[in-house]
Amino acid sequence: MCGIAGYSSSTSSESRTFIVRKMTDAMAHRGPNSDGFFSAGNITLGHRRLSIIDLSSAANQPFSDQSGRWTIAFNGELFNFKQVKSALNHINFKTTSDTEVLVEALNCWGIDAIRRFKGMFALAAWDHDTAKLYLVRDRLGVKPLYYSFKGKELLFASELRAIMATGLLDRRISNASLQQYLYYQSIGGEQTIVEDIKQLAAGNILEFSSTGVEINSFWDITEPEEKYSFTNKANTQKKIKTLLFESVEQRLISDVPLGAFLSGGIDSSAVVAVMREVSQSRPVTFNISFDEKEFDESIYADEVARKFSTEHHTIKFSPSDFLRDLPSALNAMDTPSGDGVNTYLVSKAVKDAGLTVALSGVGGDELFAGYPFFTRYLKLKKWKRLWSNTHLLRKYASSIVTTEKWKSLLNIKQTDIASVYPVLREVLSKNEIIKLLNSNSIAEDQLFLILNEKLKSICKFPSLSQVSIAEYLGYTQQTLLKDTDQMSMAVSLEVREPFFDHQLIEYVLQVPDEWKYPAYPKQLLVESLGTLLPQNIVHRKKQGFTFPWKHWLRNELKSFGQQNIDSLCDRKYFNADSVRAQWNAFQTGDDSTKWMKLWLLIQMEYWLTKNRIT
């Protein structure tokens, strides 16, 4: 895993390299093994390398093909590069890296070669013959890519802070993005928290030349590359098992030590179980344990580890451990997020144990209807006709219910996924955001606009899969995957997610609801794996990986929280009285003020101060 950066301008090669070096230095944690630079024409590329496959210096980047036409800076892993390599048998390869296969594929098939690869990647490819630069982001947005285009100049990098480190942009907060962050604990669409920086959307190619910028999609989750028909449930389960086994096996390729996160839940246990099946090596697994029993899942992780005979490590976290590492976790945050600290701490523990690559079970809930709101959406759809005829009744009900989510839900006009999903995923409602901000207007909800634009295509899928698609376009891409990348790469750890294999996803999204409906947690996944998973792991109460924030914010983290709340109240776009009132109510034991809402504000203020955002 790596970090990439680049700058196109009419300035000298030396000046551009100076700027690009600022960017690569700002994300040296993404690639501590080497750095490299390349300049031609008006473009300079930079690269930081975390060596995973082919550890030799011959595989360092930027990397050019043997003809000299293409030069790339590449971040990620191509899990099927050996298959693509076999189709390039006319090439005398100099390395065993996936990077060389990628650049030779570009020379053979042009930028459309991207479609041949499976993996997680963000890359910059310079075509010397046409003087065009291509920026590409993988299908599901596992790897990030940010850019800023002004006039005829283009900056891009794997991290937001790298672009800010150039000093070429004003560090102005985007008010619309701030509202999105308060809605969903992250920022979706193409916007970022910084006014002049955008993120390239998943599955997109940005083409940059002397005529400007053009962006096109090479993959759309609502338009699968292969269509399937379903007539036999047993055959469907067999196909899912085959695809998952292939996905895990492909993600085991590595020339450095590799392990897995193991929470003891269905998803991580499934990944570890398949690792044991497809590899002769004994899996190395890691679990985070807490003194607070309501958050501790170590007993289940231990059971799974024993069943599959893994080399298991339990890492115990106390409040003092957390407080010690919290500043490092917050400093590692490239872009504000409500849930990233968890990922940082477990990633750091795994890295400290000597591993460079870890497999994760994230993505199983989103694909196999693992959250309660999947079935809630089915119930709402049954009320579609009744919903449209009860506007006045719902309006009255919304005025007397006490929870903000129910108020928001009762006020939606329709029960389609574009209207329902944003409410199911909101952290703060519009009313709460208006109270917190010195503003009477709310910007357009980018998540709603994205879903509404694709609504016709989404509605072609089964209802449970419509929720999955909304998850991939919303929380999964903008929070889950972003947190996983920024927090694991902060400690130079590569995390691979087998449930984010696009072929597995395309297949499962087309499975009928009646075969996917979770009569018990993730029933289709469990049945597809047969007897592989222990029954008490399958049927235990779902906990989710979280820390005891509510307790800590009222005790060990109270002073830290107070300091940042006070600082936030000095910012003109926040309503100081409202913010302080909520913090004080929480501290007096009022549980109607959720800890998550306050933690969002605390993290935001810490990030704004650290990055000198105005």
Q: Determine the Cα angle at 462 with ends 203 and 189, to 5°.
A: 30
Q: What share of the chain is helix, strand, coil (3-state, %, to 5)?
A: 50, 15, 35
Q: Which helix (H) or strand (E) covers residue 428, if one does?
A: none
Per the omega criterion (within 30 degrees of 0), is the bond before 62 cis? yes
Residues 6+ apart with CB under 8 A from 118: 78, 79, 80, 250, 501, 502, 503
Q: Determine the Cα angle at 137 with ends 135 and 139, to 5°.
A: 145
C-alpha to C-alpha distance for 70 and 90, rounded to whole angstroms: 17
28 DSSP assignment:
G
Residue 265 CA from chain centroid, whole number: 20
Q: Which residue has the tokens 């630079």?
A: 37
| SS3 category, 124 | strand
- How far, CA to CA in Å, does 109 sit from each of 6, 183, 426, 434, 441? 24, 43, 43, 52, 49
Question: Is 108 noted as a catalytic residue in this protein?
Answer: no
Residues 6+ apart with CB under 8 A from 428: 182, 183, 404, 436, 597, 600
C-alpha to C-alpha distance for 40 and 42, rounded to whole angstroms: 6
Encoded tokens for 395: 């309006």
Choosing from 2, 108, 459, 569, the catalytic residue is 2
Strands lying side by side in the sheet with 258-261: 311-317, 284-290, 258-261, 357-359, 494-496
Residues 6+ apart with CB under 8 A from 163: 23, 146, 147, 148, 155, 156, 157, 169, 197
Active site residues: 2
